[in-house]
């Protein structure tokens, strides 16, 4: 077994660096910031060393079953992605957190989270995945909590509650999986499952394992934590959450689908339904939102729905899943790049205005050309416009659906269901464009007669961060314009891990067949924006300015109306009732006995008949009972016994 | 009298030293004496753990004797108890400054260690029973130490329940005496099926009652009610060892009777096993639920003990090597975590006088070390990797999911998970409020309230243990596997 050094370094060095940084930070805050940058830079560098290698690291006995990391293909891509995004957000953080309290704490947990995230992405064993998954949930909780406003605390508590609940359900699933298969190593599981002819016994277990990852990925109906946590966390943390932490859930689901339910159609259909709901739900929530970061948060949810559709198609398509696999993988990566740019841009707005409400921040970006261009790049990318990177991955996902429709047609089966899926998919793509246009127009186009005072001293963004943002934004069209050079290569490295072969021929991204989908989405997007957003969700006030309206009905809130009352009210009440009943059973029985045996007179318990049958009295004589030598009598008994023992010995 | 009399040293030394300590008025000398006693005791136990010793103190009849023996199980418990006793003792030097009559406290604190050692090392049922009663009597003064009416009443409740429970055990002993070849503990049991012929159901019922009786000390439903009353009223270091260690006295007795006298084979698959598993599951849920509802911090921790010790019992009643492994790991890990929690709660009381869970806002800024260790212990109790609680839960669940237990095992594991969720529900809000008081919190009002090293060092050591055992459980797993290898 090849014992790699890089793999444990990637996982444990950031953690160690975080602790060292904490100690440095107590003395010197600037040094701590640069130290954090150095740590993330070194981690990024180390992750680059993995490229083109197959490394394995195993340490038996840790936490019981031992750790197993493997670097190769997919894991390397994810590790490099993690390293890069963490480096960028850390550099960006220095400016963002300038005026904040508790920065030392943030940096500590931010670096701990990096190690844990690396641990998840590099794991080759569900046991290892789970360990780092739990660590990550707890360390990232502190990042969400950072601002400590009332809303942030509430959002963070929801985040943690969902994470703990999800973690425990997943753990239950892992218990059962391990019990049934005797291993949690992904490769061995794949071999084991390949030999099973009847997988029906595993679906229940699969759903349990899936639960925690789905909660982390923000899938419906476990998405409740996501919009609030993303919105209320500081921008660099939101970026990390959206780009990587939520993706650990997607990663887990990918692993379950590729390793346990490989080419399994029922499982694929299950994923498809959840994916579709999440995709549409996220998009609709994003459309209604009037908060910049909330829109981006719901958009993340929607995009994860897109990835889920890709994962689902891998299962449904079976042998022909190459397109779906690379589509999923590329959308995973593209979405991370896009959301990095978007959340950091939103962070710029917040840094300056300390506000995210569209009606208040309106017009902030009118005179900031760089920010406008950067944001526009990301808009075009996430909207799936040809020549930007989002288009490539969305096309692949779309193609995989179309491919399945062809297969169904050839087999002579009904294609109605899959046609619906296809149109909903394109519709969700249109919604993406609509809500992105909505926030872009609000922040960068519209005028605001009452601009908020700028809270930040100096330029709205310092030069270093301007360069970083510009570079990140530049990468988006570059990836989109040269898909064969960039995207195809990445997917070729990664897809074998998902059990797909590289497609027979390169996909013609810019052929009319493929462009058609984008055009449909574009038309839908324009229609929704002009016919719905501008008419229903906006109105003009007396001064002739547009006002964004919050039309989302308050009663349509799964968290406030269902989960919280149920989990914090009803269930504890029922459980508490039975627990109290059980808890007081014996005491109640004893009181009954006392009532039957003793007479109570003036709060003194008096034995009724037998004067030799005595009981300790309640009431005023309590102290004397004790003072008059309970301890001493015990001591005397002890001494007596000791003497007796000595006598016997001698 | 035969065997090696050195085995008597750890049993008698603390008792004698305790008496001397009781008459020591000078605080400094007394503390030094207590410290020396606990260290020597730990050294002695560690020394004894290297070899295997047997010693018969008094052969009453050919079947009854006061005899001691150091087997793997005894060593595991003895080492754990001595280490934690030492740490909690160091902590108590500081804590007892604000309590009355520290001399009396330390006297009984040291003496009960002798009783516990006697319990660990006892080689037969009679010795075990005597030590068990001894332990109850010697720890009683710790419960009623404060002397308030509430404490005295709690003490009486403790005494009543314990004596009743031990009485059930004694009753069982009479029956076992006539059905077993010998009442000396043998791995795998000493039951003589020829003697038993025809009376199997009697013995099952008797065994069941014995488990209820000894389960009393471990806080098992239905004789759990004393625990949440008695533990919180004691001074914090005493609560810590009562919850963390003394409850494990019941566990020792249950292991000895189940695995060393009656034998797991006899009970496996009977109604008794199913009923006991059910009782353990009920206790797990009940304890967690009541803890979740409780607002007084120390009582919340006591309810948590009710729940957590029944994890151990669940594992033991599975009568499966994996369950046994998980159970004994849980014994150690719960002792560590619960000691941190109680000692932390004590430090809070000592420094701020706050006793309710909703008063602890912002405390993480005032006493960071205490609250950090509190957080780690909470994670361990919930079972979040890489802390220790995760490992024990892993093995318990693997035991519970063995195919032979069917639905009951599955329900049990599911309840363990629900209980873990409730544990998160009753511990994490405390940690969260302590560290994240909110934006409007008045930071100016904060003062440094970190207690001195006598309190923080034991807490830090225990917290390190909670993480180290979680990350590297190998040595403990091997040790326990050796013990269970002989039994099964």
Task: Write out chain A residues lying below 8 Å of B437, CB-based.
Answer: 148
For chain A, what is the domain count?
3
pLDDT, average across residues A200-208? 88
Q: Record the tokens describing residue A386, joined without a space.
A: 């040809």
Dist CA A33 CA A107 (whole Å): 8
- The rounded percent of chain A whose pLDDT value lies above 70 is 93
Q: Are residues A626 and A568 in the same domain?
A: no
Q: In sequence order, what are the residues at sequence separation of 6 or more whose Cβ sits closer than 8 angstroms to the Cβ of residue B143?
A: B151, B154, B155, B158, B230, B231, B233, B234, B238, B242
Domain that holds residue B384: 2-487
| Residue A346 near residue A358 (C-beta atoms within 8 A) | no
Dist CA A579 CA B250 (whole Å): 23
- Inform me whether the pLDDT recorded for A245 exceeds 50: yes
Region of A629 please: left (phi>0), alpha (psi -120 to 50) or beta.
left
> Is A71 domain-assigned?
no
> Is A632 domain-assigned?
yes
pLDDT, average across residues A621-636? 56
Q: Are residues A346 and A494 in the same domain?
A: yes
Q: Are residues A488 and A543 in the same domain?
A: yes
Q: Are residues A316 and A376 in the same domain?
A: yes
Helix (H, G, I), strand (E, B) or coil at A400: helix
Counting every residue written for chain B, the total comes to 488
For chain B, what is the domain count?
1
Q: Record the tokens describing residue A233, joined without a space.
A: 């966390």
Helix (H, G, I), strand (E, B) or coil at A357: strand
| ω into B222 cis (within 30 of 0) | yes
Report the gap between the CA of A140 and the closest CA in chain B (Å): 13
Confidence (pLDDT) at B283? 93
Task: Write out chain B residues lying below 8 Å of A161, CB-based.
Answer: 424
- Inform me whether the pLDDT recorded for A604 exceeds 70: no
**Digit-coded pLDDT (tens) for B321-350:** 999 999 999 999 999 999 999 999 999 999
CB contact under 8 A, A147 and B428: no
Mean pLDDT of chain B: 89
A639 has a chain B CB within 8 A of its CB: yes
A642 has a chain B CB within 8 A of its CB: yes
- Inform me whether the pLDDT recorded for A623 exceeds 50: no
Provide ipTM, 2 decimals. Answer: 0.90
Point out the domain boundary residue: A512, A531, A549: A549
Report the gap between the CA of B285 and the closest CA in chain A (Å): 7
Confidence (pLDDT) at B341? 94
Dist CA A429 CA A395 (whole Å): 11
Residue of A nearest to B417 (CA): A168
Task: Write out chain A residues lying below 8 Å of B224, CB-based.
Answer: 583, 586
Q: Are residues A560 and A463 in the same domain?
A: no
Q: Are residues A538 and A562 in the same domain?
A: no
pLDDT band at A503 (very low <50, low <70, confident <90, very high): low
CB contact under 8 A, A148 and B285: no
> Is A111 domain-assigned?
no
Q: Record the tokens describing residue A157, joined without a space.
A: 């508590």
CB contact under 8 A, B385 and A149: no
| Residue B344 near residue B434 (C-beta atoms within 8 A) | no
Helix (H, G, I), strand (E, B) or coil at B362: coil
3-state secondary structure A608-632: CCCCCCCCCCCCCCHHHHHHCCHHH
Domain that holds residue A640: 601-650
> Is A637 domain-assigned?
yes
**Digit-coded pLDDT (tens) for A205-221:** 999 999 999 999 988 88
Residue of A nearest to B384 (CA): A134
Report the gap between the CA of A560 and the closest CA in chain B (Å): 18
> Is A326 domain-assigned?
yes
Q: Which residues of chain B fall below pLDDT 70?
A: 1-2
A100 has a chain B CB within 8 A of its CB: no
- Inform me whether the pLDDT recorded for A475 exceeds 90: no
Q: Are residues A577 and A454 in the same domain?
A: no
Point out the domain boundary residue: A567, A582, A597: A597
Dist CA A11 CA A26 (whole Å): 24
- Give the global pTM: 0.89
- Inform me whether the pLDDT recorded for A2 exceeds 60: no
| Residue A272 near residue A312 (C-beta atoms within 8 A) | yes
Per-window interface: A 161-180 vs B, CB < 8 A: 161, 164-165, 167-169, 171-172, 175-176, 178-179
pLDDT, average across residues A158-167? 92
Q: Are residues A349 and A414 in the same domain?
A: yes
Residue among B118, B394, B419, B446 with most chain A CBs within 10 A, to mutate: B394
Task: Write out chain A residues lying below 8 Å of B382, CB-based.
Answer: 164
pLDDT, average across residues A108-126? 91
Task: Write out chain B residues lying below 8 Å of A167, CB-based.
Answer: 384
Q: Are residues A568 and A631 in the same domain?
A: no
> Is A180 domain-assigned?
no
Point out the domain boundary residue: A512, A530, A549: A549
Q: Are strands A67-71 and B65-69 parallel, antiparallel or unpaired?
A: unpaired
Task: Write out chain B residues lying below 8 Å of A156, CB-based.
Answer: 432, 436
Closest partner residue to B391 among A63, A160, A172, by Cβ? A63
CB contact under 8 A, B147 and A623: yes
Mean pLDDT of chain A: 84
> Is A85 domain-assigned?
no
Confidence (pLDDT) at A613? 42
Q: Are residues A560 and A420 in the same domain?
A: no
- Inform me whether the pLDDT recorded for A554 exceeds 90: no
Q: Are residues A610 and A483 in the same domain?
A: no
Dist CA B166 CA A21 (whole Å): 55
- Inform me whether the pLDDT recorded for A426 exceeds 70: yes
Q: Are residues A577 and A611 in the same domain?
A: no
Rg of the Cα atoms in chain A: 30
Give me the residues paired with residue B184 across strands: B124
Per-window interface: A 47-76 vs B, CB < 8 A: 61-65
Confidence (pLDDT) at A506? 67
Residue B137 CB neighbours (<10 A) = 20
Dist CA B345 CA B373 (whole Å): 11
């Amino acid at each position: 077994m090849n014992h790699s050094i890089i793999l444990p370094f990637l996982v444990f060095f950031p953690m160690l660096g975080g602790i060292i940084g904490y100690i440095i930070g107590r003395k010197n805050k600037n040094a701590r910031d640069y130290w954090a940058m150095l740590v993330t830079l070194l981690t990024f560098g180390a992750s680059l060393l993995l490229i083109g290698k197959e490394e394995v690291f195993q340490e038996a006995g840790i936490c019981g079953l031992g750790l197993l990391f493997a670097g190769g293909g997919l894991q390397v891509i994810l590790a490099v992605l993690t390293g890069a995004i963490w480096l960028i957000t850390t550099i960006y953080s220095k400016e963002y957190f300038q005026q904040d309290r508790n920065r030392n704490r943030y940096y500590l947990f931010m670096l701990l989270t990096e190690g844990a995230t690396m641990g998840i992405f590099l794991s080759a064993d569900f046991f290892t995945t789970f360990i780092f998954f739990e660590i990550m949930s707890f360390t990232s909780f502190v990042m969400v909590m950072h601002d400590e406003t009332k809303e942030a605390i509430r959002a963070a508590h929801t985040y943690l509650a969902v994470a703990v609940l999800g973690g425990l359900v997943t753990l239950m699933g892992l218990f059962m999986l391990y019990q049934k298969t005797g291993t949690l190593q992904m490769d061995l599981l794949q071999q084991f499952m390949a030999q099973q002819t009847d997988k029906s016994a595993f679906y229940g277990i699969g759903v349990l394992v899936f639960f925690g990852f789905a909660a982390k990925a923000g899938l419906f109906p476990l998405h409740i934590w996501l919009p609030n946590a993303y919105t209320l966390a500081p921008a660099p943390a939101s970026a990390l959450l959206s780009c990587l932490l939520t993706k650990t859930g997607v990663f887990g689901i990918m692993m379950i689908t590729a390793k346990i339910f490989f080419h399994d159609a029922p499982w694929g259909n299950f994923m498809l339904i959840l994916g579709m709901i999440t995709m549409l739900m996220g998009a609709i929530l994003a459309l209604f939102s009037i908060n910049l970061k909330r829109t981006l948060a719901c958009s993340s949810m929607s995009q994860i729905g897109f990835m889920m559709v890709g994962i689902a198609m891998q299962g449904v398509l079976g042998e022909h899943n190459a397109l779906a696999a690379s589509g999923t993988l590329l959308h995973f990566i593209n979405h991370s790049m896009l959301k990095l740019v978007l959340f950091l841009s939103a962070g710029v707005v917040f840094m300056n205005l300390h506000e995210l409400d569209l009606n208040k921040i309106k017009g902030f970006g009118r005179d900031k050309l760089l920010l406008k261009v950067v944001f526009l790049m990301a808009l075009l990318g996430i909207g799936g416009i040809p020549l930007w990177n989002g288009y490539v991955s969305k096309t692949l996902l779309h193609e995989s659906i179309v491919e399945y429709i062809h297969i169904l047609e050839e087999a002579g089966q009904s294609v109605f269901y899959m046609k619906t899926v296809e149109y909903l998919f394109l519709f969700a793509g249109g919604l993406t464009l609509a809500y992105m246009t909505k926030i872009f127009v609000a922040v960068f186009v519209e005028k605001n007669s009452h601009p908020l005072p700028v809270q930040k001293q100096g330029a709205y963004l310092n030069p270093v961060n301007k360069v970083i943002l510009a570079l990140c934004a530049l990468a988006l069209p570059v990836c989109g314009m040269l898909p064969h050079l960039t995207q195809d290569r990445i997917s070729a490295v990664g897809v074998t891990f998902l059990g797909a072969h590289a497609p027979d021929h390169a996909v013609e991204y810019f052929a009319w067949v493929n462009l058609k989908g984008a055009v449909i989405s574009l038309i839908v997007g324009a229609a929704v924006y002009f016919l719905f957003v501008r008419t229903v969700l906006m109105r003009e006030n007396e001064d002739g300015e547009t006002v964004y309206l919050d039309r989302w009905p308050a009663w349509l809130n799964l968290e406030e109306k269902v989960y919280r009352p149920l989990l914090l009210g009803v269930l504890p009440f029922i459980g508490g009732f039975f627990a109290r009943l059980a808890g007081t059973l014996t005491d109640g029985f004893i009181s009954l006995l006392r009532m039957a045996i003793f007479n109570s007179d003036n709060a003194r318990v008096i034995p009724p008949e037998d004067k030799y049958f005595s009981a300790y009295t309640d009431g005023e004589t309590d102290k004397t009972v004790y003072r008059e030598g309970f301890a001493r009598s015990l001591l005397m008994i002890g001494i007596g016994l000791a003497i007796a023992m000595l006598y016997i010995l001698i | 009298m035969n065997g090696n009399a050195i085995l008597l040293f750890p049993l008698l030394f603390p008792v004698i030293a305790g008496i001397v300590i009781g008459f020591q008025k000078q605080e400094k000398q007394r503390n030094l004496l207590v410290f020396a006693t606990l260290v020597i005791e730990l050294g002695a136990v560690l020394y004894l753990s290297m070899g295997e010793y047997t010693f018969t103190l008094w052969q009453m009849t050919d079947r009854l004797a006061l005899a001691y023996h150091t087997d793997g199980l005894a060593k595991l418990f003895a080492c754990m108890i001595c280490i934690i006793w030492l740490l909690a003792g160091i902590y108590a030097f500081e804590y007892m400054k604000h309590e009355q009559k520290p001399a009396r406290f330390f006297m009984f604190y040291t003496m009960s260690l002798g009783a516990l050692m006697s319990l660990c090392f006892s080689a037969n049922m009679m010795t075990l029973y005597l030590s068990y009663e001894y332990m109850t009597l010697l720890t009683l003064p710790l419960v009623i130490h404060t002397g308030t009416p509430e404490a005295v009443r709690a003490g009486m409740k403790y005494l009543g329940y314990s004596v009743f429970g031990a009485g059930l055990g004694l009753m069982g002993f009479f029956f076992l005496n006539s059905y077993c070849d010998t009442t000396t503990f043998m791995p795998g049991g000493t039951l003589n099926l020829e003697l038993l012929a025809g009376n199997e159901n009697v013995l099952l019922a008797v065994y069941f009652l014995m488990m209820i009786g000894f389960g009393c000390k471990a806080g098992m439903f239905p004789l759990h009610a004393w625990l949440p009353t008695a533990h919180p009223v004691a001074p914090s270091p005493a609560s810590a060892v009562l919850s963390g260690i003394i409850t494990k006295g019941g566990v020792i007795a249950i292991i000895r009777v189940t695995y060393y006298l009656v034998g797991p084979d006899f009970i496996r698959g009977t109604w008794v096993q199913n009923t006991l598993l059910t009782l353990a599951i009920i206790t797990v849920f009940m304890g967690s639920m009541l803890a979740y509802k409780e607002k007084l911090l120390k009582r919340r921790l006591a309810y948590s003990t009710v729940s957590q010790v029944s994890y151990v019992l669940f594992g033991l009643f599975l009568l499966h090597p994996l369950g046994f492994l998980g159970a004994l790991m849980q014994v150690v890990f719960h002792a560590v975590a619960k000691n941190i929690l109680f000692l932390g709660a004590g430090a809070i009381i000592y420094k701020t006088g706050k006793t309710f869970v909703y008063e602890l806002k912002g405390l993480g800024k005032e006493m960071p070390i205490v609250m950090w260790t509190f957080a780690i212990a909470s994670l361990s109790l919930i079972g979040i990797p890489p802390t220790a609680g995760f490992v024990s839960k892993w093995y318990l669940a693997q035991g519970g999911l063995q195919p032979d237990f069917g639905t009951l095992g599955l329900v049990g594991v599911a309840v363990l998970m629900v209980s873990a969720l409730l544990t998160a529900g009753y511990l994490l809000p405390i940690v969260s409020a302590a560290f994240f008081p909110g934006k409007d919190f008045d930071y100016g009002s904060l003062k440094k309230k970190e207690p001195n090293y006598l309190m923080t060092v034991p807490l830090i050591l225990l917290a390190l243990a909670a993480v180290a055992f979680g990350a590297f459980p190998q040595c403990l797993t091997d040790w326990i596997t050796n013990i269970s290898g002989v039994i099964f």
